[in-house]
Structures are given as structure tokens and as C-alpha cells.
Structure 1
């Protein structure tokens, strides 16, 4: 009986001893990958006082879930697992923790002499302290042939949310996995970074608040996306441990601040709705208060000895409350922004508001999944962990398209208004020209039918008196009076030639040329045209071309000292082209060249949607006037 009791006690001891050991995980040369999380045992150290020497005597709990995720916590965690090399060759494996935001992590292993050693790293230590140069926490695991080894991990993330997804890789599998991971991160960061750069240059060009806030919130999200997978710590701030722990909460807070500011600019009517505007401002103020409080605890500022990230002094309670409060506030803000989009869609039924809502729904899905991971309500795997990497570029792409579409509509409206203003200016100019033409006709008739007849009557009477009482003075007076009458008739003809109205533009120019030849016999003047039907020309265009011809011909005769002048009038592709050339002295063809006459010609031409071109030739000048036949005259 005593012997039986003895064997039973030995059996129970052996069973207890074996059960106290972690489950062995067999590996060999064909091993590639294993999710280690459901294969480990865990001790939760709420007192944060246990040492490594005390841990083997603690009661470990077997973990069976796909991911080690305890949500928000204020404890340390000890993890144990055993590996067995069933192969005849030594193996080199890699242990990976995908969560790169663990404050402190120790990896305990036995060296070749059988003594326990550990590797210490975490985001509270410079990146160069990592055993493997990788954004994730990676530890080398060496197993001799047929060796069975036990390993421990000590993890500190107190005062925040904790996930410890553990994976075991062969070196070849880890290299392949890392390459695919970096391609994925590079693609998503590249898309987001492209929009950050484009939005920056758009702000520099347009200088508008909506683009400024859009750029700042895309920049905040891009920095968050760099910090989240540990790429920022690896490549951008490897020594700035004070920033590594605070980068995500800080950039996330800035992202939602600028998102709310952007929303206020995107919906100008929001500022007229008191409840919506005050609530949005309230959220911005709350985020700013959180940022000030959170950044004041940063060890880089040195404001508090017992700051939130000092593991020696601080037990983590206030930090835990702050992070939980930020998480809840972000969820509420996400719902609020989406609610604003829905409100304006219901109010206006514009597709733009529906797309705005959909875009922020992408952020909401990615952010909610991340928060549920923090709370321990969802597993921390590759899909859930990196969902926001897909959601954020998608949201930014949609918002960029919305902004581009809004500016396209603004550009269309501005173009329409500009076109209407241009039409109105042209209408005013043409009405002015038409008024001038009517006034010229009236003055011409007044001179011809009034003053001209009176002068002729006076000359006739003086002639009769001279015949009765001849004298040299009277004869000279009659002659001078005749010259004045001729000048009045010529002036009346220049204002509104009767021949222009009766016979058309070409006949009027021909008469002008013949009259000029008579008065200026030293200058040879030629006129050519190919107009067959002048009735298609509106009266205003004919009148304008005649006045321009008269002005240019007078300039040639008075200032050019020319001996030869050519006038041509041709129809060319729905436009009338008038050219006046001379072989005179010429002048510089600058934008300010010419006197009042040239400036008047340019103004008249532009009012009829035409062009006035001045070009200097080897000898003399060439003036070209092009006026569309189909010019809209508004009359």
C-alpha cells in the first residue's frame, strides 16, 4: 500500500512538472512560418513587481486566441514558449512582434553556456538597439540540432492598449514576407504622399484656407501612416524616443483638428447653423486641450519629473484615462463629420455631399477597426492591423476628386461670368460706336444742310456785290469763303460719307483715294479689293473700316514722308482684312507706339472682336486690321 502511494505521488509530481512546462513547438529544416500567439503561455503582472527569477514559479495561462490582445491595460506581461528542433542540423529562426509600439520588451534566452541572457529594446530606446534592423521587433532564435529550448518575453505597455501578435519565421520566409510588406507600405505611403505634395503646391498657388486645411490633414495622416508601422522610427527619427511614443496620438489629434477645420471650409453654410458650428468648434477645442495636456507630459520638454512615459515613477493610470478619452472622442468626431455630410446631402441632394460622407466612412471603418483592436474586441492580424492603410489613401483620393470637381465648377462659373462681362463690355463698346456713328451722321447732315448752305448763300451774295462794286479785297473774301465752304463739305463727307451709305465701303474708299490723289499729288496711292457683295457687311463694320482707313491714310500723308501707299481690302475666312502699307520713315512697334489715332484704331478694332497688327517693313510700315464678319453687334 505504501509502495502504491509512493508511485502515485511520483506520477502526480511528474504530471505537475510536465504541465508546468510550456507546450513544445516542433520545427525542422522545412519550417517556414507559424502564428505563435495560440501556442504560448502568459502571466499578467498587475503589480509590476515580478522579476525574472520569480516568473518560473508563477502560474501561466495557456493562450488560445489568434492574437495576444488585452486592450487597454496597466500591467506587465510575461510570455513563455518552447521550441524543439527535430532536425539533425542547427536552425536559425526569427521571432517577430508585429506591434511596433511596445514601450519595453525583453527577450530571454539561454546562451551556449546555458546561462539566461536577454535582449532589451522598445520604442523607449534608440532604434539602433534593435537586434534586427526592421521596423517590427524581431529577435534571432538559434536552435542546435535536436535541441529543445525555452524562451520568455517581458512586455511593458502600461497605461495604453496592448497587442502582442507573435510570429515565428524561417529566415527565407521572413525575407520574402518583409519584401511584400515594404512594397505594400511603399505603395500606400506613395499614394498619400503624392496628394500631400500636390495639395501643398495647390495651396502655394491658390492661397485658400480650404486647401491649407486639406494639406495639413493629409500631411498629419501621412505622418501617422509613417509612424504606425514603425517606418518613421526606423528611417526618420531613430534617436527621437521622446517622439516615437507620442507620434500616433499627436498626429491623429492634428488630423481630426484639421479635418474639422476643413469640414467648416468645405461647407460654408455650416457656419450659419449655430448648433453645428458651435459643436464643431467645441470638438476642435477639446482636441487642442488634449494635445496641450498630452504634449506637456513629453519627457523632451522636461515639465514633469513624474511624466506619463517614465516607467520608474509613473504607474500609468492617468495616461490610460487620457488614451481612452481620446479614443472615445475620435469615434464621436468621426460620427459627427459623417453626420454633417448626411445632413447637407438630405438638405441639398447634391452628389458631392454623398461622396464626402462616403470618403469619411472609409476613415470611420479604418479607425473603428483600429479602436476595436485597441479595446480587444477584434483580433490583431494583418488585415485588421493595416486596414487603415487602404482606407486612408482611398479617402484622400475621393476628397481630392471632390476638391478638384469643386474648383472645376468654380472655374466654369468664373468663365461664364467673365464671358458675360466681356459680352457686356463689347455690347457697351459697340453701342458707343453706334452712337458715335449716329452722331457723325447727324453732324454731317447739319454741316451739309445747314452751315454749308448758309456759307454758299453768303458767298453768292458777296459775289453779286463784288460784280456791282469790284475790289481786290472783296474778291479775296469771296475766294476765302469758297475755301471755307469746301473745307466744311469735306469735313461733312469725312464724318459720314454719303457714298458709303449709298454705294458701299469699296466705293467710299475709292472716292477717298481719288480725293487724296488730287490734294496730294506727290504720293502715289493704290487701292485693291476682292469684295463681291458688300451688303453682307454690317453698317457699323463698314463705317469703322472707313474711319480706320481715313486715319491711317492721314498719318501716312502727315508723318511718314512716304512716296507710295497701298490700301487693300480682302475677305479671308469669315473675316475682313484691311491692310495699309507705305514706304515712309516708319516707327518702333512697341505696345505703346503711336499716338491717340493709333490707340483709337486699336480700341475700335477690339470692340468688334478684331485684331490690329502693326509691323515694320524694310522700308515703311504695314498696318493690318482683321474684323470677323459675324461679330455680334447686339443691335
Structure 2
């Protein structure tokens, strides 16, 4: 494991340990804590309400949580609510299970129910608008009431942890719960947005499947809290019972699709691919079955079988996913450690809560029991989302590196072409000077001899034309072959050109330079030709008396400024050319910027080329 991943894992387990420590009922924390409400539990076996009221204490008396697992019978619960304070107060009997199909409540030996509610009734049927089943009682000081309830959760997991809270305690409980649920909801929404962003950027199907997984888990958590029934489907009494297994199965499918797309099995590990595909199909078929089979037509025995199948399937999936991630981690697959730590984090919370619900020996707090799955999911999503962030960062760096390499290769190739073109220009310039220039020079000398012998004025005219041809050939040769640019460098070559111009033309040419960095050869050639083109434009078209050239460089850029005090040119002339098309093409090749300001007082050309 890399040092970075080791730190992340240590932080994760530290977070887990602190959460566990703060959530357990340690002796020092019990002081001032609401004592669990004693109650009598009795399996319903055809008893009437009267029989249930008469049941003796020897039936089953428990203090705290009761979790028999999946059973096929209903349960009688009898307890007493009493105000032991000195003042009248409102008390709330909380069952700490928002998923009971039907509840009938009887008060003080009455055989007629004071309230009938449950998941099989619309949310408005509840006496108190809460995600959990809450029953308020107004009690005077010392007053007590006997409460009998019949709870129906046949064929499904059943557990209760009755508590009696006064108004202040209940308000504190609700406020803390809403704070936790708000934080978890905000976190999950943020993770979904971030993951979808990574999917849009990376175009990895695993990121899309992971976003579906996080959404499914969030909807499962929302349903598990009872918030789905309260806010999303308060009238859908058929969906409230299906929502949790449906979202659970959907999250299983999405998680396995995420893993096999993020870590595709190699050809030597085809058995993993077969295993995951089989589990995906089984989960998918169970999901469809839950969706299409009307719950009202299903017997408790069938529901129990389905749920037990889902539990066994979940255990197989946990072992399969952890085993596969361990194999990937041992194979040193990138980011496998993040997934392994994240999934282990989630499953650790789930196993911890399951063990406490079955045995009750861990004595986990109310908050960890109700929100432990959410805490585990937050840790898991944080680690895996961090893996996507790392992957996106690495891929971005790889793309940038590849783009730079391609750009460098393209530039090197273009530089080679430019240098080859320059070599060809030099050859043509030399040929013009040595071949045609030499022949024209010889012709000029012979014409001079003939003219002296014959004194023919026609020969003098021809000699003048030949002399012009010699001058034009020299100019062409000079332009094609920058004088000693390779040997002298850009600054010295331009300085020589300026000195020559000051000798040959009446325009005053000034040259200022300050170079702090070395300029590549191909750039030197381009800049030299740009300067010559700008000077030529000023000499031919501007009617200037002075031309100023500035060449300045620093580590970031090379800056060229050419100014004249001529008559300037119009936008139409600028569009038509004046050699500017060639200049613009060269500047674009160098990834530079060209700015021209021309008016009747002169023209200023600014060229900035990045280093």
C-alpha cells in the first residue's frame, strides 16, 4: 500500500473508531440518559384483546430492544407510561421502528382501539406527524396509563426499542436527528453530483454506475429512516413496503456493475466475471419480482422467503466483492485499495449494527443504530469518490503530458520543414548570386567594352537594363539568404542589416535590443523575415523618414516592436495585404499575437511571441 493510501486508510479507521466510541452507551455516558421503557412482549396466538390485557408478567418481560428476526406471527406489547416528574408534561412513546405494517393501540384496559395506524395506512393516519411511530400522552404529575399494542410485521424483520421521552427530550431527539439527516442528505447529493461530473469528464461507465449506486443507497437510507413515506410517497401504502428491498437490490446491481467496470476481470479471471454477472441477474430478477408482484396477494411465508433469500444473497455478494477487491489489491491494481477500504468501511458498520440487533450485547446508541448505515455510506462514498478524483487527476496529467508530447513533435516537425525551406532558400540565393548574377556581371562587362568601341547609344540602354538586373538579382539573393544568420545570430544579423540600410537609403533606421533568453533557431529565422518584411513595407509604402525596431525578451515572451513615422495605411489596405498576410501566418505559427496601429502619423506593429 502506498504511503498516501496508508494515511487515508488510517484516517478512515480512526473516524470509524471515534464514531463507534461516541455512539456506544459507555457507563460515563449513561448518567442523565433516558432509561429504556420496560415492556411485556407476547407472541400473538389467537388471543383476544381481553386475554392480552390479562396476560401475566411471566410471559416475556424485557427492558430495551427486542429483535426476534423474521417471524410469521404478530406481537402483543404491553407497557406503562408514567409521569414521574412534579409537573404536568407531554410524553411521547417512541417505538424506534418506522416500518410496522399495522398497529392497534389500546389504553387502560379498553377493548376498543384508541388508534389504528401503520405502513398499510396513509401517513395522515398517524396520531403524530413523525417519521417514526410516536404516540403522545398528556400526563399530570404521578399519572400513569396502561398501553397495549398489537404489532403486525409478519414475514419481515421485526424489532422495537420503546422509549418514553418528555417534550424537551423528544424535541432534542428530533432536532439532532434532523441535523444528522440533513448532513447525510447534503453529503449524498454532493457525492452524486461529483460522480456524475467525473462521468461526464472521464466517460467511464463505472462512474455512471457508481452515481446510480449512491442514489439507490440514498433512497434506501431515506426509506429506512421513514422519511420516504412521510415526504415522497405518503399515500402509496403498497410502495412503502417494497421501497427498501427494491432500492437495496438496485444498489447491489449498481455496485457490482461499478466494480467490474472499474476493475475489469482479466482473461485469466473469467470466473469472477461469470460470478458477478450471475449475481447481477439474480438481483435484477428479484427486483423485478418485488416490483410486479402485488404485496396484498403475497402470504407472509412468501415474503419471509424472499427476504431471507435477499439476506443470503447479500452475504454472498459481500464475500464476493471483498474477495475480488482483495485479489485486485494484491495484484497492485490502481485504486483497488481505496475501493477495498471504502467497501470494508461500509460493511463494518452494517455488520456491527446487525450483531447488536441480534444479540443486543454491544449496546450501541440510538443514533448509531438508526444512522449507522448512513455513517458507513458516508465513509465509503468519501473514499471511493476520492479514488475517482485521483483517477481524474492522473488522467488529466496523462492527457496534458500526451498533448505536450504531440505539440512538441508537431513543432519539431514544423521546425524541420522551416529549416529545410531555409536551406532551399539559401541554395536558391547562392545559385542566383553565383550563376545568374555572375552571368549578368560578365554580360555587363562585355557590353561596356562594346559600347566604348562603337559608341552605340542602344548598347548603353541595354547596359543600364543589365545593371538593373544585377541589382535585382543581388536583392533577391540577399532576401533569400539572410547574411550569416546561422553564424552571427538574430541580433547581429539585424544589426548588420540596419547598418547596411542606413548606408543605402535615406530613411534613418534605429535598432534597440535586450534579450535575456536564448531564441530557438527556427524562431530566429521567422523573426528575421518578419522584421525584413516590416522594414520593406515601410520603405515601399509609408514614405517614412525614420524606422525604429525594438527586440526584447524575458523568460516568458519575446516582444518585437517596429514603428515608423510614415503616412500609415487604411483598413482596406491592411486587408489587401502589404505583405501582412505573410507576417500574420508566421506569427500564428509561433503562437504569437499581432497588433497593428496605423494612422496618418505613422504605424506601430507589436508582435508578442511566448517562449
Q: Same fold (TM over 0.5)?
A: yes
2: CA distance between counterparts of 1:181 and 1:454? 102
- 1:447-486 to structure 2, matched below 5 A, reads 447-486=432-471
Q: Is the 8 A contact 1:341 1:353 kept in 2?
A: yes
Deviations 1:81-139 (Å, cap 9, x if unpaired)?
Answer: 2355667765532111111011111111149xx67432111122121111112111011
Q: 1:34 aligns to what SS in structure 2?
A: coil
1: CA distance between counterparts of 2:49 and 2:167? 29
The farther-off stretch of 480-489 and 432-441 is 432-441
1: CA distance between counterparts of 2:177 and 2:450? 117
Distance 1:86 1:492, change over 3 A: closer
Q: Which has the higher helix share?
A: 2
1:259 to 248, 255, 262: 255
2:157 to 158, 161, 166: 161
Aligned to 2:104: 106
- 1:106-505 to structure 2, matched below 5 A, reads 106-110=104-108, 116-143=112-139, 147=143, 149-204=145-200, 207-269=203-265, 273-297=269-293, 307-308=294-295, 310=296, 314-348=298-332, 350=334, 352-372=335-355, 382=366, 383-498=368-483, 500=485, 504-505=492-493
1: CA distance between counterparts of 2:373 and 2:243? 16
2: CA distance between counterparts of 1:532 and 1:340? 61
- Residue 623 (1) aligns with residue 605 (2): yes
- Residue 52 (1) aligns with residue 40 (2): no
Deviations 1:152-190 (Å, cap 9, x if unpaired)?
Answer: 111111111111221111222212222222222222222
Deviations 1:353-388 (Å, cap 9, x if unpaired)?
Answer: 122101001221233345556767877852334321
The farther-off stretch of 170-179 and 592-601 is 592-601
2: CA distance between counterparts of 1:529 and 1:134? 83
Distance 1:502 1:68, change over 3 A: closer
1:510 to 477, 484, 498: 498
Deviations 1:314-366 (Å, cap 9, x if unpaired)?
Answer: 4311111111111111222122222222111111265x212210100122123
Deviation of 1:576 after TM superposition, in Å, equals: 4.8
Gaps of 5+ in 2: 1-31
Distance 1:128 1:593, change over 3 A: farther
Q: Is the 8 A contact 1:203 1:212 kept in 2?
A: yes
2: CA distance between counterparts of 1:231 and 1:479? 103
Aligned to 1:34: 35
Deviation of 1:404 after TM superposition, in Å, equals: 0.2
Q: Over alpha carbons, which structure has the higher Rg?
A: 1
- Residue 611 (1) aligns with residue 592 (2): yes
User: Please, what is the CA RMSD of the aligned residues?
Assistant: 3.3
Aligned to 2:23: none
Q: Is the 8 A contact 1:85 1:144 kept in 2?
A: yes
Gaps of 5+ in 1: 1-30, 298-306, 519-523
Deviation of 1:266 after TM superposition, in Å, equals: 1.5
Q: How many residues align?
A: 571
Distance 1:315 1:50, change over 3 A: farther
Deviations 1:176-219 (Å, cap 9, x if unpaired)?
Answer: 22222222222222222221233334445555423221221111
TM-score normalised by L of structure 2: 0.84
2: CA distance between counterparts of 1:268 and 1:525? 73
2: CA distance between counterparts of 1:550 and 1:458? 31
Aligned to 1:6: none
